[in-house]
Amino acid sequence: MQTHTYDVVIVGAGGAGMRAALESSTRARTAVLSKLYPTRSHTGAAQGGMCAALANVEEDNWEWHTFDTVKGGDYLVDQDAAEIMAKEAIDAVLDLEKMGLPFNRTPDGLIDQRRFGGHTRNHGEAAVRRACYAADRTGHMILQTLYQQCVKNEVEFYNEFYVLDLLLDTDLREAKRPRKGAEVTVVGVVAYELGTGEIHVFRAKSVILATGGAGKIFKTTSNAHTLTGDGMALALRRGLPLEDMEFFQFHPTGLAGLGILLSEAARGEGAILRNSEGERFMERYAPTIKDLAPRDIVARSMANEVREGRGAGPHKDYVLLDLTHLEPEHIEAKLPDITEFARTYLGIEPFTDPIPVYPTAHYAMGGVPTTINTEVLRSNTDVVGGLFAAGECACVSVHGSNRLGTNSLLDINVFGKRAGVAAAAYANEHELVELPEDPAAEVVAELDRIRTAEGGENVAELRRTLQETMDADAQVFRTEESLTRALGTIDDLRRRYRSVSVQDKGRTFNTDLLEAVELGFLLDLARVVVVGALARQESRGGHFREDFPTRDDKGFMHHTMAYARPTSGPDTEIRLETRPVTVTRYQPMERKY
């Protein structure tokens, strides 16, 4: 076991982690731990754009952007956070341009902007051109640009290091929690080096969680295989709450059957969704902005068309994304990658044939709760000293119950930067906390248990059952019955997971072992999603209960705070509490588009 000491340790090297690193590494001694090479992170898969009210091509301002974000999130957004994000968006885009990001340009050489779902002029009048973009590979360009800057600034990376535990100076896992105001401080993290199988302890004054999403709890997903919610699960296991996990975004246009993302930018550039009858059905669901309604509404509308028998294809189980009326040159210039996806993976030529699409699990609105300065909350009122979180793994909450397209690339830049600044400032004002005795003991014991078990449960089978269950029972449409069924399956899988085993017993690059560990994270998080969804007896944003089809502001205008608490048995249980939504200038209204 090796022990390292840093001022700041950043867990994750996607957009949020690297944006944070660019700030903290100039102010404090910083290490970035990533389970992948940084350029493999899933920020690179984001396509359409990053919204900021630059007003380069038409009138716009950050207040409209704030409003759209709040309304898009079905009023569960913390409005102070949304305002910060919309204001700081402008500098976030300009920062990236100055770092060299190759944005598409207007004829005058300014950063070009295009339309995106839910982003409107003057509080919903019409779609507005707000998304700054680089063809349909904006995320790729952001990831590459941030990595380039990290290379320039000689940021210290530990690549292919899996962080498997978060060390705090106080055990928060017990039923009895520290009193209000009591100091709880981060100590560091425990990591597993994939290349050698060695355990490393990183002592740090500040730790930033930036581990991204958890889309792999679902079967049909746009997410990478590696998006297993590690940071969220580590926090939950250490007794910290997770916020609003029942809200998961299903992106409308996944390639049917595969889940591969086709950017909303396609609709921003004029593509239209049609059912088997050729009807532009979004005119019925969102008369004003039609195909550019927010994702929750479009996804639900698509699923409803299929349910009512108007799906396309031999099994009538998808709808069609039609680009055939657009100029091929325009598509080639603005959407080169996604047209290639259609050709490569489905053999469809999008210039002449519509593309089969169906909603795909895309984004966790919930995550590790933080303040607007990215400090991690351990309760509604207290933070953990030195612990920060940003990006998809965090919940600020700027996305509420439904994130608007492009706001995730914005989130990682705005709050990634804030996290880097805040973590460095904290580190410069505090001393290191003593490591506990044998800090890696729990991780070592768990890894040994999995590695040495023989003939136990199969990781892939448990994971497939989990993912199929979540797709069937906790996707776009949910009911008490489906969610109860899902919870029963998850509880059973959790029991079976305790006797999981792997075939690879080696030390070098043992991905078999790490897939087993990641399955543990997925099982933890899927349970929180389902328990939260069961308790939320209303429909809001990405969470739709067929048995409670309307929003209920009296009963549920609050955030969910989920804690894992000990039971008399071997498993924990999920306890739910609530946290008020911060409302500044926008009172909840009915959400129409």
Partner 1 sequence: MTATTTSPAASVGEVPSFDVTLRFRRFDPDAANPEPFWQEFTVTAHGTDRVLDAMHKVKWELDGTLTFRRSCAHGICGSDAMRINGRNRLACKTLLKDLDLSKPIVIEPIKGLPVVKDLVVDMEPFFASYREVMPFLIAQGNTPSKERRQSPEDRARYDDTTKCILCAACTTSCPVFWTDGQYFGPAAIVNAHRFIFDSRDEGAAQRLEVLNDKEGVWRCRTTFNCTDACPRGIEVTKAIAEVKRAMITRAF
Positions annotated as catalytic residues are 295
Residue among 358, 497, 544, 556 that touches partner 1 (CB under 8 A): 358
8 A C-beta contact, residue 210 and residue 391: yes
- Interface segment toward partner 1; rule CB under 8 A; list 5-13, 71-79, 96-104, 171-179: 96-104
Residue 113 is encoded by which pair of tokens? Answer: 């902007």
Residue among 5, 61, 80, 94 that touches partner 1 (CB under 8 A): 94
Instruction: Quote the distance between the C-alpha of residue 575 and its chain's center.
Output: 22
DSSP state of 427: H
Instruction: Tell me the closest approach of the beta carbon of residue 573 to partner 1, in angstroms.
Output: 30
DSSP state of 312: B
**Sheet with 272-274, edge to edge strand ranges:** 248-255, 355-364, 319-322, 272-274
Q: Rounded CA gap, 439 and 168, in Å? A: 10
In the window 391-450, what residues touch partner 1 (CB under 8 A)?
none
Residue among 2, 122, 499, 511 that touches partner 1 (CB under 8 A): 511
What's the sign of the alpha-carbon dihedral 148, 154, 160, 162? negative
- 315 lines the binding site for partner 1 (CB under 8 A): yes
Instruction: Tell me the closest approach of the beta carbon of residue 257 to partner 1, in angstroms.
Output: 3
What's the Cα-to-Cα distance from 228 to each of 278, 356, 399, 467, 526, rounded to whole Å? 38, 27, 20, 12, 10
Residue among 11, 70, 134, 265 that touches partner 1 (CB under 8 A): 134
What's the sign of the alpha-carbon dihedral 228, 254, 281, 75? positive
Residue among 318, 415, 497, 521 that touches partner 1 (CB under 8 A): 318
Instruction: Tell me the closest approach of the beta carbon of residue 18 to partner 1, in angstroms.
Output: 13
What's the sign of the alpha-carbon dihedral 251, 257, 261, 265? negative
Q: Rounded CA gap, 154 and 140, in Å? A: 21
- 133 lines the binding site for partner 1 (CB under 8 A): no
8 A C-beta contact, residue 537 and residue 555: yes
Residue 33 is encoded by which pair of tokens? Answer: 């731990």
- Interface segment toward partner 1; rule CB under 8 A; list 102-110, 285-293, 403-411, 489-497: 102-110
How many Cα neighbours within 13 Å face the side chain of 332?
Answer: 5
Residue among 55, 224, 421, 432 that touches partner 1 (CB under 8 A): 224
Residue among 2, 3, 344, 428 that touches partner 1 (CB under 8 A): 344
Instruction: Tell me the closest approach of the beta carbon of residue 253 to partner 1, in angstroms.
Output: 13
Considering the complex, state which of residue 53 and residue 398 has its C-beta at the smaller distance from partner 1: 53
- Interface segment toward partner 1; rule CB under 8 A; list 137-145, 411-419, 422-430, 544-552: 137-145
In the window 262-291, what residues touch partner 1 (CB under 8 A)?
none
DSSP secondary structure letters along 63-86: HHHHHHHHHHTTT-S-HHHHHHHH
Considering the complex, state which of residue 192 and residue 388 has its C-beta at the smaller distance from partner 1: 192
Element (H, E) at 191: strand 186-193
In the window 55-74, what residues touch partner 1 (CB under 8 A)?
none
Residue among 30, 32, 42, 402 that touches partner 1 (CB under 8 A): 42
Instruction: Tell me the closest approach of the beta carbon of residue 549 to partner 1, in angstroms.
Output: 26
Considering the complex, state which of residue 1 and residue 151 has its C-beta at the smaller distance from partner 1: 151
Element (H, E) at 299: helix 295-307
Q: How many CB atoms lie within 10 A of CB 558?
A: 15
How many Cα neighbours within 13 Å face the side chain of 371?
Answer: 16
Query: Residues with Cβ < 8 Å from 86, sequence gap 6 or more?
Result: 53, 62, 63, 65, 66, 69
Considering the complex, state which of residue 5 and residue 159 has its C-beta at the smaller distance from partner 1: 159
Residue among 31, 33, 189, 256 that touches partner 1 (CB under 8 A): 256
In the window 525-554, what residues touch partner 1 (CB under 8 A)?
none
In the window 174-213, what residues touch partner 1 (CB under 8 A)?
195
- 30 lines the binding site for partner 1 (CB under 8 A): no
In the stretch 443-462, what mask flags binding to partner 1 with x, by CB under 8 A?
---------------xxx--
In the window 321-340, what residues touch partner 1 (CB under 8 A)?
340
- Interface segment toward partner 1; rule CB under 8 A; list 37-45, 68-76, 231-239, 420-428: 37-45
Instruction: Tell me the closest approach of the beta carbon of residue 142 to partner 1, in angstroms.
Output: 12
Q: Is 57 exposed, middle or buried (0-12, 13-18, 19+ CB in 10 A)?
A: middle
In the stretch 486-505, what mask flags binding to partner 1 with x, by CB under 8 A?
----------------xxx-
Using DSSP bridges, classify how beta strands 558-566 and 572-580 pair: parallel, antiparallel or unpaired: antiparallel
